[in-house]
Structure 1
């Protein structure tokens, strides 16, 4: 019995009961000392791939069995998903291996009586693979199955982007994201690190001057380059947000919802470790990660503070040159990395978050000096959480004005909305989806 598949099934069973897929995977797989690096990588492919294509896999089970997958025993249902994912999406796994290992999986998990059903369904799929067609003329229902998204989200993005553009977005969000790092320019240049990481398939990023993509990243987080603080893992889109915020050496910065510190540490680099950054977060565990990252990267100007932003901050108003709010959001721009967000997000949650975001932005704005800057940023693509929040804020707070970001960093025009907001899109830029608006206090 392959332990990779066994651990993958264990993780998916726990995920069905609720919780973050990433945290469950860390606990069940990454911390399992009995698995090799290669086995953990295969388990990750199975777990996150199955979550990514869940709707399509369940549609396939229903077509082949004439049974609602929800009526199946959880072990059988999730084992079938894992088996079908290998048969549908992983050309490198032989059909016989995918079928036989899945049959053994249900036996190992105490469902021997279902092994014949599992074997028959998977072999039936192998015979009919090219014949299964999504037989509907409704473009929404077709896209829901083809790209494996909830129907409400397909409808929303069809309206927002148009059908052709939305399909490109769905396709991009279903791809495994690149492994991107940010060079710690306090310790090393990008040119030197590109040379030293050559065996990891290091390539410069397209837009960020401090970004590197690693084509073969396995083992790099155990390398001396990581432990010595020469880089931080960070998506290129997040790096661009940091450049647009543009903190200067010697400034006093307030960074809200800061942990685990990807953007915080980038700000410190840009400030050349000169000035002060108060990094606020509600989570003690995430603040611990922030502190560890600062120590590893050699950053000395960050002062962490645990605080719930739904209550007033313990500072005098108008005390910071720049304030950055990395607002909690639906996360629909980072589905590539967190495919379980497809199934957790709801329209009601987006409304709840937009109300919370407005509340946090109002608190953030109290601490900006006259002439200072306020940046609001999310990793989602919903107008209600992005420009909707900013425009409602500007309507209420007349002493702030929008700064057109098109001229701040020299990025291509398709990164920006007509209002001058930043919006990175996976299908256009190859980054995660980020939104940012920069405002100045009069």
Structure 2
């Protein structure tokens, strides 16, 4: 029988080996686990993943064997244990070290138990005097180690932002992600949802920008709540909610949501349209199309029609048939690192070039599908200018579209950040949301 710490190590080994998405792996592996243990496992897994580079830097100062040359189980055991030693005051150091030694022996690494014990005890004794790269002498290494973000990502950001801005972004990316929800205005009100959630044991806070947004103070097992299952609300970051407002859909219109899964923006569009009109929500993967269908059914979005389609291939029947097209494009995801810490290790610099090529193919098709005078909204959950600003310029210059002013669709507190009237880069430093980019264009009549 595994205890919580053994399960954590096995999960970390699995995630590193298969490069899986931590949210999906945890959801699957923690089925039936006691809620108290589930919370502990989730916190340690996320923390260890998020601070992996910093943990490795610390371990390598006290281990003769490099972290990357260790056996996978020992490597993850040390990372998990060091995370607890230097980041969690509520766990006694003696318990962390003793449990690590016990697990080493239990899993057949008896000859390494002394090594594990020695490294952890030394780090515990010296944790108040640990040294890190110097900010002035090695600024790139400093940012990478302190905030556990690979150097190539830091370099990309330094092309677009000042050192101080990048450090603020890094700090924001390592804060605990708040859970935002969007009220389903098709069937309820915010006041009703607040009352229901309170009865379900969940306290809420008001949204920062939008009337339909709330923040939950407790975020464990929320999808099991009756109000969620009844479609009263859905989980969605406020930065993502802004997209549907920029699309500005009108009741009765025909809209295409390319790359739609899991369907959150389509469902928001349906709510803004009061379920009047038609929304084609497409995706390339059958299981994701099914997920859109399930979410639309739960949220009572009857005008959402999930469709299996490869967005990079021209669909003849779509040509010039939509009033508005939303292209929430595949991207590096570097704007949501605090929500999905595994992204920082599963993406490479080479991925950016391939992603940009796909984004251009999708945008070309999107422009073809618009009626004369139709609106294209391009969005990503990243903060890289190569995927955002540069892509917006390319869309305007190459696809025969013109800028569409978005000022009236953006909350007043964010209007100062709009550039050239038609695009907005939301940084995680602005209001504790995900990093997001939105740009709007109009097809010439």
TM-score (norm 2): 0.95
- 2:293 counterpart residue number: 291
* Within-5 A mapping of 1:124-139: 124-136=122-134, 137-139=137-139
- 1:374 counterpart residue number: 376
Provide closer, same or farther for how the CA distance between residues 28 and 101 of structure 1 changes in structure 2, counting only shifts above 3 A. Answer: farther
- Tell me how far apart the structure 1 counterparts of residues 142 and 64 of structure 2 sit (CA, whole Å): 19
- Tell me how far apart the structure 1 counterparts of residues 203 and 89 of structure 2 sit (CA, whole Å): 23
- 2:54 counterpart residue number: 56
Residue segments in structure 2 that go unaligned for 5+ positions in a row: none
Provide closer, same or farther for how the CA distance between residues 344 and 78 of structure 1 changes in structure 2, counting only shifts above 3 A. Answer: same
Which deviates further from its counterpart, 205-214 or 130-139? Answer: 130-139
Q: Which runs of 4+ in 1 moved over 6 A?
A: none
Given that residues 194 and 203 in structure 1 are in contact (C-alpha distance below 8 angstroms), is that contact kept between their aligned partners in structure 2?
no
- Tell me how far apart the structure 2 counterparts of residues 264 and 87 of structure 1 sit (CA, whole Å): 44
- CA offset digits 1:362-392 (Å, max 9, x no partner): 0011011111101111111111111211211
Partner SS for 1:336? coil
- CA offset digits 1:204-252 (Å, max 9, x no partner): 1110210110011224321211111100111111111111111111110
- 2:360 counterpart residue number: 358
1:201 to partner: Cα distance:
1.8
- 2:142 counterpart residue number: 142
- CA offset digits 1:140-189 (Å, max 9, x no partner): 11111111111122222233221111111101111220011100011111
Provide closer, same or farther for how the CA distance between residues 309 and 420 of structure 1 changes in structure 2, counting only shifts above 3 A. Answer: closer
- Tell me how far apart the structure 2 counterparts of residues 348 and 126 of structure 1 sit (CA, whole Å): 38
RMSD over aligned Cα, in angstroms? Answer: 1.6
* Within-5 A mapping of 1:138-177: 138-177=138-177
Which deviates further from its counterpart, 77-86 or 236-245? Answer: 236-245
Picking from 200, 204, 207, the partner of 2:206 is 204
Given that residues 50 and 85 in structure 1 are in contact (C-alpha distance below 8 angstroms), is that contact kept between their aligned partners in structure 2?
yes
In the alignment of these two chains, the number of paired residues is: 439
Partner SS for 1:333? coil
- 2:437 counterpart residue number: 435
Given that residues 11 and 24 in structure 1 are in contact (C-alpha distance below 8 angstroms), is that contact kept between their aligned partners in structure 2?
no
- 1:85 counterpart residue number: 83
Given that residues 404 and 421 in structure 2 are in contact (C-alpha distance below 8 angstroms), is that contact kept between their aligned partners in structure 1?
no
* Within-5 A mapping of 1:282-431: 282-398=284-400, 400-412=401-413, 413-418=415-420, 420-431=422-433
Given that residues 7 and 28 in structure 1 are in contact (C-alpha distance below 8 angstroms), is that contact kept between their aligned partners in structure 2?
no
- CA offset digits 1:317-337 (Å, max 9, x no partner): 110110001111100001111
TM-score (norm 1): 0.95
1:106 to partner: Cα distance:
2.2
Residue segments in structure 1 that go unaligned for 5+ positions in a row: none
Say yes or no: does 1:3 pair with 2:7.
Answer: no
- Tell me how far apart the structure 1 counterparts of residues 93 and 322 of structure 2 sit (CA, whole Å): 60
- Tell me how far apart the structure 2 counterparts of residues 417 and 124 of structure 1 sit (CA, whole Å): 52
- Tell me how far apart the structure 2 counterparts of residues 38 and 183 of structure 1 sit (CA, whole Å): 28
